[in-house]
Amino acid sequence: MGFISSSYNIRLLKMTFKNNLFTLVISGLFILSFSSCVSRLARPEIRGIIMDYHRNPVADCKVGETITAKDGSFSLPERRYRKFLLSEMFMMEAPPLMVMERIEKEGFEPDDIYLFNRYGGGISRGAKHHIDTLFLKRADQQFDIAALLKDKTWNAGLTKNADTLYLIRTDFNTHCKTRKCQIFYDKYNELTDSYSLSTSARNLPETITRRSVNLTFKSDQTFDYKQVQNYRDGHKSPLNNKGIDSLQASGKWKVNDNKILQLELQKPAIASQYRLAEIEDYKLMLIKSGI
């Protein structure tokens, strides 16, 4: 009887020890979660220069919470925040980073610095982003459309009936870096890539995955049209019975009253006047006249 009682007491002590150990571990984790935090990135240090379209620095321009100097330069300090360790452990990955800083000055069209990184919140302290030069458009900005087009190559995204054209210069990504640029590029990309992240309806034919179109405007009022199309698996081009085809053609162009662009091309058929709905140094939106 004494042996049974002794064994029972030992088992009871073991169970009590395990329960106490479990309680200690849980308590320790809670204490650790509330006393220990991890540092997350809210905004890297951002440096850059604001200029107008004539390459003149824009002084006293508000960028986020700061103001540009006489040479157009600005600097935004790094920002960080702290999160409880336990909550971050449950997430199993670093949080995303999204930065939106307003750029504005009287007499100019406002824009935004926009940065996004899916796991950027986990970047360590000391993060820097040198944005180089950003261009701000004056509210009364005037453009010489013929000079803007002449001797330059533009990538084009066309709607199904070529009612609207989104044109970006081949050096677009080097010079156009603001939020407005990103929005414009997304619209262009919808018209050239069926795998675009956009949720809008596809504009490419069902059998085509990608279509690139290049327009090179020449000083003699002619332009070269180059098109490359990639077809979905199981589909082939009617031109060469392959999964990819290309088309090259030449047309004529002219600008009427600096507001209307006339394009004439036999194949593919583009013979319309387009009004310039949006004009920038590195991006143009053309809408067929009458729409």
Q: Which residue has the higher pLDDT, 69 or 243?
A: 69
Query: pTM for the whole thing?
Result: 0.79
pLDDT winner (highest mean) among 47-56, 254-263, 264-273:
47-56
The torsion angles phi and psi of 25, rounded to 5 degrees, stand at -65, -45
Q: Which residue has the higher pLDDT, 136 or 8?
A: 136
pLDDT for 155-199, tens place per residue? 999 887 888 999 999 999 888 899 999 999 999 998 998 876 554
Ranges of each domain in the chain:
2-35, 38-135, 145-288
User: CATH number of the domain at 38-135, out of 3.40.50.2000, 2.40.50.660, 2.60.40.1120, 3.30.70.660?
Assistant: 2.60.40.1120
Question: Does the structure show a pLDDT above 70 at 8?
Answer: no
The single-letter DSSP state of residue 121 is: G
Is-same-fold flag (38-135; 145-288)?
no
Return the half-sphere exposure (C-beta side, CA atoms, 13 A cut-off) of residue 117.
Answer: 17
Question: What phi-psi label fits residue 241: left (phi over 0), alpha (psi between -120 and 50 degrees) or beta?
Answer: left
The CATH class of 145-288 is mainly beta
- Give the residue-averaged pLDDT of 140-150: 93
Cα four-point dihedral sign 59, 284, 249, 226:
positive
Question: Does the structure show a pLDDT above 60 at 146?
Answer: yes
Please enumerate in sequence order all residues whose Cβ is within 8 A of that of 255, keeping only pairs 6 or more positions apart, or say none: 145, 146, 149, 261, 262
pLDDT for 196-216, tens place per residue? 655 455 677 788 889 999 999
- Give the residue-averaged pLDDT of 96-124: 94
Question: What average pLDDT does the chain have?
Answer: 85
269-to-203, 205, 265, 285 alpha-carbon distances in Å: 17, 16, 6, 19
The torsion angles phi and psi of 227, rounded to 5 degrees, stand at -130, 135
